[in-house]
């Protein structure tokens, strides 16, 4: 399989280089500069990323390019371009010609990197240092008003460098430049499609797992579902999935999802364990304590179920690429990752080997693979749902009574979103129009507040709960903005909830973005 290696010097936008290449159906891997992989025949080219550091700094990130430069196609971006200049006979200085933001670049010489790109186009700059002298053998291929050496090529080698960031949206022809690099310069065939991914993964899983038994925890979410179907293709009945009913799921969710899984031919054990979770939550109202109680109970239940499956050797997980990059990035594991997102402690406790068939995929690629595997759209475009479920959407202590109220209100909200037409882009499939309001939203849900307030219904005074609705748009859950739901939608919805759900007499809509708020309330 042909691939491009991206060496990460710590730029905020390194992941975007990977995204852009994947959009071109080119397989690529991002590695921290200090953990560069062995280069084999599959590697068609290398990209050096940007960095917040200065090449002149004392602890400037350094990588030995002995096996790469002049031997493989190489593209330096921003810090990468300065790195190539600084270490190969050029000069980098902190000069007056620093640039941040938009700049216009003019092509100065014929180059395969700029094939098909207008003479002048907008690029995105972000640099304090400037390349004041090119490295040995280099010629300028692009300049901006302020920076002469905005792009260069080292003659006699397939080494190119650009001071700007072609990976960001604001570099007008950046995607074309990256395409030129991988296709014209590296010779990639752009054949890495969902179908080819499925074919190679199934073959790899077959040879890796042989006749071993594998256990996988299904959550009803996209990642674990796609992982399960892929594994099922590879090893069939040797895969057993465990779907835990923690008693905190949405209305009819356990039954509906279990049925879809059975329709797909998956071998699923449904573990109804609601009582254990509710017992563990009794009297607990602190959010962190609630999360811990739910997490611990999940591990106990899963472990007990898994032990019923004799001879299992592997635990499959739906880990995806952003989790992998985050946890081994140049800057160390990101502080924004929450340990509770993974079922921490489970693998050690169970003494099983780990298999993660989706660890090279971005979220939208997981969805594309899921579609290519024939998984129902309903499951593929489901909104994310947190592991601790409604347990963290009932603020304060969780009780059966509150769960029943929240399930009803939430079902009305979600159904209405699914039945409300809209003309916006889909949140689950780039480039497609949404089929309804639900599909245009990244995530929506209902919270039950521990607050009761006075109302009047008919001629009677009521004293009931308040629920809060939340709908956000996001790309990865790290940042999010609230959705401008139509007023007539909100008006109908609040009437419906208050009329139909006993126990609620007030509905609010959450208009906080993340940051400073978070998506979940607890
Ligand atoms: P926050 O509340 O941190 O949520 O803004 C960001 C995204 O993560 C989901 N989330 C979780 N997912 N286990 C999960 O699997 C969890 O404990 C958990 N907590 C939050 C949340 O629904 C949103 O999509």
- Give the pLDDT of residue 342: 45
Strands 3-8 vs 138-144: parallel, antiparallel or unpaired:
unpaired
Q: Give the residue from 216, 482, 252 showing the smallest Cα distance to 343.
A: 216
More confident residue, 521 or 476: 521
Percent of the chain, pLDDT > 70?
Answer: 95
Q: Is 389 within the bounds of a domain?
A: no
- Give the pLDDT of residue 341: 46
Winning range, highest mean pLDDT, from 34-43, 97-106, 324-333: 34-43
Taking the CB of residue 367, how many other CB atoms lie within 10 A of it? 22
Contact 105, 142 (CB under 8 A): yes
Contact 149, 106 (CB under 8 A): no
Q: Would you say the CB of residue 382 lies under 6 angstroms from ligand 1?
A: no
| Same domain for 343 and 484 | no
- Chain centroid offset of residue 52 CA: 23
Contact 31, 7 (CB under 8 A): yes
Q: Is 520 within the bounds of a domain?
A: no
The pLDDT-based confidence of 347 (bands split at 50, 70, 90) is low
| Same domain for 271 and 313 | yes
Q: Which residue has its alpha carbon closest to ligand 1 atom 3?
A: 518
The phi and psi torsions of 467 (rounded to 5 degrees) equal: -115, 150
Q: Is 415 within the bounds of a domain?
A: yes
Give the helix/strand (H/E) hosting 368.
Answer: helix 363-372
Q: Is 522 within the bounds of a domain?
A: no
- Give the pLDDT of residue 344: 52
Q: Which domain holds residue 445?
A: 394-509
Mean pLDDT of the chain: 92
Contact 385, 225 (CB under 8 A): no
Alpha-carbon distance of 229 to 197, in angstroms, equals 13
Express each pLDDT in 151-187 by its tens digit: 999 999 999 999 999 999 889 999 999 999 999 999 9
Atom of ligand 1 nearest to the CA of 221: 15
Percent of the chain, pLDDT > 90?
Answer: 80
Does position 90 have pLDDT exceeding 60, yes or no?
yes
Q: What is the CATH number of the domain that holds 272?
A: 3.40.50.620
Contact 501, 507 (CB under 8 A): no
- Chain centroid offset of residue 411 CA: 26
- Which of helix, strand or coil describes residue 409? helix
| Same domain for 270 and 171 | no
- Which of helix, strand or coil describes residue 509? strand
Lowest mean pLDDT among 81-90, 277-286, 382-391, 476-485: 476-485
Strands 130-133 vs 159-162: parallel, antiparallel or unpaired:
unpaired
End-to-end Cα, the chain, rounded Å: 44
Q: Would you say the CB of residue 318 lies under 6 angstroms from ligand 1?
A: no
Q: What is the DSSP string of 65-127?
A: -TTTBTTB-EEEETHHHHHHHHHTT-EEE--TT-EEEEEEEEE-S--GGGTT--SEEEEEEEE
Alpha-carbon distance of 80 to 58, in angstroms, equals 17
pTM, entire model: 0.82
| Same domain for 82 and 128 | yes
Q: Is 375 within the bounds of a domain?
A: yes
Q: Which residue has its alpha carbon closest to ligand 1 atom 4?
A: 519
Q: Is 148 within the bounds of a domain?
A: yes
Domains in the chain, number? 3
| Same domain for 418 and 496 | yes
Q: Would you say the CB of residue 217 lies under 6 angstroms from ligand 1?
A: no
Q: Is 515 within the bounds of a domain?
A: no
- Give the pLDDT of residue 445: 98
Atom of ligand 1 nearest to the CA of 384: 24
Q: Is 242 within the bounds of a domain?
A: yes
Lowest mean pLDDT among 40-49, 115-124, 270-279, 344-353: 344-353
| Same domain for 271 and 217 | yes
**337 burial level (CB within 10 Å; 0-12, 13-18, 19+):** middle
- Which of helix, strand or coil describes residue 507? strand
Q: How far apart, in Å, are the Cα atoms of 144 and each of 159, 178, 299, 417?
A: 20, 19, 57, 48
Does position 348 have pLDDT exceeding 90, yes or no?
no
More confident residue, 302 or 336: 302
Q: What is the DSSP string of 416-476?
A: HHHHS---SB-SSSTTSB-SSHHHH-SEEEEEEEEEEEEEEETTEEEEEEEEEEEEEE-SS
Q: What is the CATH number of the domain that holds 401?
A: 3.30.300.10
| Same domain for 46 and 152 | yes
- Which of helix, strand or coil describes residue 195? helix
Tokens of 260: 């879809």
Alpha-carbon distance of 214 to 232, in angstroms, equals 10
Q: Give the residue from 231, 251, 247 showing the smallest Cα distance to 239.
A: 231
| Same domain for 221 and 370 | yes
Alpha-carbon distance of 12 to 27, in angstroms, equals 21
| Same domain for 344 and 425 | no
The Cα angle at residue 401 between residues 397 and 403, in degrees rounded to 5:
70
Alpha-carbon distance of 502 to 336, in angstroms, equals 38
| Same domain for 157 and 107 | yes
| Same domain for 424 and 346 | no
Q: What is the CATH number of the domain that holds 82?
A: 3.40.50.880
Express each pLDDT in 352-386 by its tens digit: 899 999 998 988 899 999 999 999 998 999 999 99
Q: Would you say the CB of residue 518 lies under 6 angstroms from ligand 1?
A: yes
Contact 298, 343 (CB under 8 A): yes
Alpha-carbon distance of 354 to 227, in angstroms, equals 13
Domain C-terminal end among 380, 403, 427 = 380
Tokens of 302: 């899963």
Å from CA of 263 to ligand 1 middle: 28
Q: Which residue has its alpha carbon closest to ligand 1 atom 10?
A: 386
Task: Report the half-sphere exposure of 149 (CA within 13 A, side-chain side).
Answer: 28
| Same domain for 375 and 247 | yes
Atom of ligand 1 nearest to the CA of 519: 5
Domain C-terminal end among 185, 210, 233 = 185
Question: Where do we find the tokens 């994947």?
Answer: 22
């Amino acid at each position: 399989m042909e691939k491009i290696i991206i060496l990460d010097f710590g730029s905020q936008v390194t992941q975007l280089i990977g995204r852009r290449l994947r959009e071109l159906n080119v397989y690529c891997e991002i590695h921290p500069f200090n953990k560069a992989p062995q280069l084999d025949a599959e590697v068609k080219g290398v990209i050096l990323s940007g960095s917040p550091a200065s090449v002149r700094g004392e602890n400037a990130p350094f990588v030995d390019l002995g096996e790469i430069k002049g031997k493989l196609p190489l593209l330096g971006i921003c810090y990468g371009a300065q790195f190539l200049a600084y270490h190969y006979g050029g000069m980098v200085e902190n000069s007056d010609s620093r640039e941040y933001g938009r700049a216009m670049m003019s092509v100065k010489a014929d180059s395969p990197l700029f094939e098909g790109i207008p003479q002048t186009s907008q690029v995105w700059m972000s640099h304090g240092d400037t390349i004041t002298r090119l490295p040995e053998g280099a010629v300028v291929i692009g300049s901006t008003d302020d920076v002469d050496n905005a792009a260069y090529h080292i003659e006699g080698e397939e080494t190119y460098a650009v001071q700007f960031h072609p990976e960001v949206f604001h570099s007008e022809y950046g995607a074309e430049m990256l395409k030129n690099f991988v296709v014209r310069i590296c010779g990639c065939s752009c054949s890495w499609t969902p179908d080819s991914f499925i074919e190679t993964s199934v073959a790899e899983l077959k040879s890796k797992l042989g006749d071993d038994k594998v256990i996988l925890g299904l959550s009803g979410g996209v990642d674990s579902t796609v992982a399960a179907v892929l594994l099922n293709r590879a090893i069939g009945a040797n895969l057993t999935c465990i779907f835990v009913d923690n008693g905190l799921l949405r209305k009819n969710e356990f039954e509906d999802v279990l049925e879809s899984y059975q329709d797909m031919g998956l071998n699923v054990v449904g573990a109804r364990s609601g009582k254990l979770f509710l017992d563990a939550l009794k009297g607990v109202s602190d959010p962190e304590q609630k999360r811990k109680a739910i997490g611990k109970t999940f591990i106990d239940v899963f472990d007990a179920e898994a032990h019923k499956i004799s001879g299992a050797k592997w635990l499959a997980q739906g880990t995806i690429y952003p989790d992998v990059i985050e946890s081994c990035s140049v800057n160390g594991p990101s502080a924004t990752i929450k340990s509770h997102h993974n079922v921490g402690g489970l693998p050690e406790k169970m003494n099983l080997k780990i298999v993660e068939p989706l660890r090279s995929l971005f979220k939208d690629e997981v969805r594309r693979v899921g579609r290519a595997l024939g998984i129902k759209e309903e499951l593929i475009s489901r909104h994310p749902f947190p592991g601790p479920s409604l347990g963290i959407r009932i603020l304060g202590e969780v009780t059966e009574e509150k769960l029943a109220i929240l399930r009803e209100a939430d079902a009305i909200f979600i159904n209405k979103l699914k039945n409300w037409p809209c003309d916006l882009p889909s949140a689950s499939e780039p480039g497609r129009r949404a089929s309804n309001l639900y599909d245009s939203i990244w995530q929506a849900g209902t919270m039950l507040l521990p607050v009761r307030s006075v109302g009047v219904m008919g001629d009677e005074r009521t004293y009931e709960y308040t629920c809060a609705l939340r709908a956000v748009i996001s790309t990865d859950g790290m940042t999010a903005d609230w959705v401008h739901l139509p007023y007539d939608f909100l008006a109908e919805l609040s009437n419906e909830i208050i009329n139909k759900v006993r126990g609620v007499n007030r509905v609010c809509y959450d208009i906080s973005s993340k940051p400073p708020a978070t998506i979940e309330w607890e």
